[in-house]
């Protein structure tokens, strides 16, 4: 997935259609010169609707759409004929898309299923015709209801990557290398921090034709919850993963401290992230012998499953797949 084409944030003006006015019409025929009111209702204004599409992975197609406008409803006519409703506008979005009000930051809707349709900006109601206002004491009302105005609001769409496993670690922890080894994904890999600046998804083949999705997400740094580095752009994608695979290099000065920093950043952003299943992978394990591994295990965090791996030599990769699949299956 090219970093140029991966767009996970768009902002646009959403304007629904206004409702058509009701008709203040009276029945007039050759032998009925003074018929009663027969004004029809106005049609409703068009909605702006979000629709889930699992074939989409980015909001790129909406990047340059700054105004989304639905048409107005038509006014009612005589003979109790209702006006046509305004045409609805459908916006296809990837699964995991969240819509917010740009001014209040209020979360409006969330799309998580294929074909799911949710009205984002509702069109105005059509006005009632004068036929609705006749009474025994007022049998010829000469007024009708105007249509309800449409809504104009600024909307933010944010995409949160949906995956079974999310890779969590500092920049240059080997996340992209692991993804390239266990899946067919080809993320950019280089020996410097922040090689990954957008999420990369890979499908991992497992035994008996089973598979699961892994997301390589931009590296986390201390202070990300306050917006440092890639900050919230990173943390937003972590929310949509079922399992978190923490990755820390074997040559780290203090693995336990690094793990605590990663956990603290997740907690400050959203405490619910700590409820997710966690697994710790010690990368670059080809640098370690068995004696060193035994010594390291004494210093590693308690209460979390730990796997030693090396993406370069393929050491521990099959064991890691087994551990991840068991966690997913549970």
Between CA 60 and CA 70 the distance in angstroms is: 21
- List, in sequence order, every residue forming a beta bridge with 107; answer none if it has no partner: 100
Q: Are residues 22 and 130 in the same domain?
A: yes
* pLDDT of res. 5: 56
- What are the CA-CA distances from residue 315 to residues 78, 88, 157, 178 (Å)? 79, 55, 41, 11
* pLDDT of res. 199: 66
* pLDDT of res. 272: 81
Residue 319: both structure tokens together: 């064991």
Q: Are residues 207 and 136 in the same domain?
A: no
Between CA 113 and CA 51 the distance in angstroms is: 9
The domain of 199 spans 163-329
- List, in sequence order, every residue forming a beta bridge with 13; answer none if it has no partner: 67, 154
Q: Are residues 33 and 14 in the same domain?
A: yes
10 Å CB burial of residue 14 (0-12, 13-18, 19+) is: buried
Which regions in the chain score pLDDT beneath 70?
1-6, 184-199, 218-237
Q: Are residues 105 and 190 in the same domain?
A: no
- List, in sequence order, every residue forming a beta bridge with 202; answer none if it has no partner: 214
Dihedral sign (CA 198, 237, 235, 48): positive
| Domain's final residue, options 102, 131, 159 | 159
| Domain's final residue, options 159, 182, 213 | 159
| Domain's final residue, options 159, 194, 225 | 159
Q: Are residues 230 and 129 in the same domain?
A: no
* pLDDT of res. 228: 45
Q: Are residues 297 and 196 in the same domain?
A: yes
DSSP 310: B
Q: Does the predicted model carry a pTM greater than 0.75?
A: no
Number of domains the chain is built from: 2
* pLDDT of res. 33: 75
Per residue in 181-233, pLDDT (tens digit) is 887 655 444 444 444 445 677 788 888 888 888 887 766 555 444 444 444 55
């Amino acid at each position: 997935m090219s970093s140029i084409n991966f767009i996970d944030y768009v902002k646009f003006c959403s304007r629904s259609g206004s409702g058509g006015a009701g008709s203040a019409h009276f029945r007039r025929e050759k032998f009925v010169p003074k018929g009663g009111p027969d004004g029809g209702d106005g049609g409703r204004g068009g909605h702006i609707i979000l629709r889930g599409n699992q074939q989409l992975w980015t909001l790129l197609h909406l990047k340059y759409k700054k105004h989304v406008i639905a048409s107005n409803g038509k006014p009612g006519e005589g003979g109790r004929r209702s006006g046509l409703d305004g045409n609805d506008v459908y916006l296809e979005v990837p699964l995991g898309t969240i819509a917010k009000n740009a001014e209040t930051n209020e979360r409006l809707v969330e799309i998580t299923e294929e074909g799911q349709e949710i009205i984002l900006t509702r069109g105005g109601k059509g006005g009632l015709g004068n036929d609705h206002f006749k009474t025994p004491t007022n049998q010829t009302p000469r007024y009708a209801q105007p249509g309800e105005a449409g809504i104009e609001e600024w909307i933010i769409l944010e995409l949160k990557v949906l995956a079974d496993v999310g890779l969590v670690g500092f920049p240059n922890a080997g996340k992209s290398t692991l993804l390239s080894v266990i899946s067919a994904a080809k993320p950019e890999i280089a020996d410097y921090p922040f090689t990954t600046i957008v999420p990369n998804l890979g499908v991992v083949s497992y035994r008996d034709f089973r598979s699961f999705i892994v997301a390589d997400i931009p590296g986390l740094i201390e202070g990300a919850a306050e917006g440092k580095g890639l900050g919230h752009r990173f943390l937003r994608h972590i929310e949509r993963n079922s399992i978190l695979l923490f990755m820390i290099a074997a040559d780290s000065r203090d693995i336990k401290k690094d793990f605590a920093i990663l956990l603290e950043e997740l907690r400050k952003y959203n405490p619910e992230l700590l409820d997710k299943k966690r697994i710790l992978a010690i990368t670059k394990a080809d640098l370690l012998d068995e004696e060193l591994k035994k010594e390291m295990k004494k210093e590693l965090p308690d209460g979390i499953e730990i796997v030693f791996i090396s993406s370069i030599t393929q050491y521990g990769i099959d064991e890691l797949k087994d551990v991840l699949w068991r966690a997913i299956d549970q």
